[in-house]
Amino acid sequence: MDKKDYLDISKASDIQDLKERRLYRFFETLPGLISLGTLLGVLVLSWLFPIQIAIFIICFCFYYLFRIVYFSIHQVAGYFKVKKHLSIDWMQKLKKIKNKDWRDIYHVIILPTYKETPKIIKESLESLINSDYPKEKIIIVLAIEERAGREAKKIADSIEKEYASKFFKFLITIHPDNIKNELAGKGSNVAYAGKIVKEKIIDVLKIPYENILISSFDIDTKVYPQYFSCLTWYYLTEKNPQRASYQPIPVYNNNIWSASAFTRVVSTSNTFWQMIQQERSEKLTTYSSHAIPAKVFFEVGYPVNVVSDDSRIFWRAYFYYDGDYRVVPIYYLVSMDAVMSDGFWKTAINQYKQQKRWAWGCNEIPYMFYGFSKNDKISFSHKISHLYTIIDGFWSWATAALLLFALGWLPILLGGKNFNLTVLSFNLPILTSRIMTVSLFGMIISAILSTMLLPPLPKGTSQFKKISIFLQWIFLPVTLIAFGAFPALDAQIRLMFGRYMGFWVTEKVRR
């Protein structure tokens, strides 16, 4: 295998060498083995060694208490940075940059779409028009799928007629169906759109790649007014701008007032997790809507064969540049849709499917293990740090909620009479419940901050909606398990048994 051939791997079967394929296949089993091993291990040990496991449970609860405090501090710090960034006049800051002319910077915005309604697409385009960055520096690529049929082309043509004159360039690309070695989904569509815009616009106009940022957006992404000015400022002031991606914070405010309570909790929790990750930039990877230097996009190559293209493009670049690549956190907002469908149960099913698709990011674990084994230019300490971060993240996602809500009772239920007669057995559920009660302050912080990030109430909407946004957090324990642990375990077990997922497109519904 060539030095950089491993960048294109999506699964074990992509590797021709039998020994190497078995090694990658072993790495694919690790996420599921670790998570299932933890859950089964706790069950068995609660039966065989109840006293020892009870002590472990107390230590684990204290560990998670300190973890919640640590994350809550980062969450609050992230919130105040967001509020500060929203209040800054970024265009004025751009104009004060010396030795670099911000007016040289173009933004290519790729909007991959698959059967979304014109309303969804138009609202995203309107947000771009309402942004303060000069439209003569913005290139729109509406990337449709051939498999979406004639109706998708008809909608795209209609939108082009309405909006093409409002931007520097407006390009429609049609991603062909059934291209060999591609996975049908957002990643392959974005990669094809990038190739076409390069050939038809960027190279024809001879725009230097160093002067272009490519934003890969979900079709429902709406930018806040000064997003591109803020992004451009970060790009021009970064020490090594060609070795970084740029990550804003997603909020799910597009349909927040009409979404179900449990989907609001799930989406808001995701926002807060991203805030926390922004505070730990050394551990940050790209997620959802983000920006990439054009030079990186074309040189590294956007992934076409994976579900989690948003994180994979970061790791491709990280390996391609031998570890000399990072994500710059931007404390500015882009808004997307919370999951919503027709009826409670369909919404719940769609939410589960979306979470499972996100949890499929666990396939980055074998990719990283294998990539690190092939690249000796990345320091050992950085390899360990990145592997620990991603393994801990997906392990916690799959197991933490289940452990926290079951651990206090397992030794009592499984430990037998000898253990149940001890003082430890009597005090264990009391102690763990008190620790968990104290840890609820993290949920209260999330509830307060969630109300402070809300958009204005639509006309005719009751003020009680704001109260319900605060009270919805009582559903957190249920959502952590039903839409956190279960889909994460589902994804890891699928990977462990080689039942690879395709790209599931989240339904977009507005009311």
Residue 276 lies in a domain: yes
Residue 104 lies in a domain: no
Helix (H) or strand (E) holding 464: helix 464-471
Residue 239 lies in a domain: no
What's the domain range around 417?
Answer: 1-87+250-286+336-511
Which token pair is 119?
């309303």
Residue 414's Cβ-count burial label (10 Å; 0-12, 13-18, 19+) is middle
- Which pLDDT score, from 0 to 100, does residue 1 have? 46
Residue 157 lies in a domain: no
**Dihedrals φ, ψ of 258, to 5°?**
-110, -5
Instruction: Kindly write down the DSSP assignment for every residue of 126-185, as one continuous string.
Output: HHHHTSSS-GGGEEEEEEEEGGG-HHHHHHHHHHHHHHGGGSSEEEEEEEPSS-TT--TT
Total-model pTM: 0.92
Judged by DSSP in three states, 376 sits in coil
Neighbour tally for 442: CB within 10 Å: 21
Whose CA is closest to 329, among 237, 217, 231, 453? 231
pLDDT in tens, the chain (511 residues): 455 789 999 999 999 999 999 999 999 999 999 999 999 988 888 777 777 777 777 787 788 888 888 888 888 898 999 999 999 999 999 999 988 899 999 999 999 999 899 999 999 999 999 999 999 999 999 999 999 999 999 999 999 999 999 999 999 999 999 898 899 899 999 999 999 999 999 999 999 999 999 999 999 999 999 999 999 999 999 999 999 999 999 999 898 888 888 888 888 888 888 888 888 888 899 998 999 999 999 999 999 999 999 999 999 999 999 999 999 999 999 999 999 988 889 999 999 999 999 999 999 999 999 999 999 999 999 999 999 999 999 999 999 888 877 766 666 666 666 666 666 666 666 666 676 676 677 778 877 887 888 888 777 666 677 777 777 777 888 888 899 999 999 999 999 999 999 988 888 877 6
Whole-angstrom distance, CA of residue 291 vs CA of residue 232: 10
Residue 255 lies in a domain: yes
Cα distances (Å, whole numbers) of residue 415 to 44, 206, 253, 422:
10, 72, 48, 11
> Is residue 140 within 8 Å of residue 162, measured between CB atoms?
no
- Which pLDDT score, from 0 to 100, does residue 408 have? 61
Neighbour tally for 312: CB within 10 Å: 24
Give the relative orientation of helices 261-279 and 50-87 as an angle to the nearest 10 degrees. Answer: 80
Q: How many distinct structural domains can be found in the chain? A: 1
Q: Report the sign of the C-alpha dihedral through residues 61, 62, 63, 68, in that order.
A: positive
Residue 99 lies in a domain: no
Q: Which amino acid is at 355?
A: Q
Residue 69 lies in a domain: yes
Residue 70 lies in a domain: yes
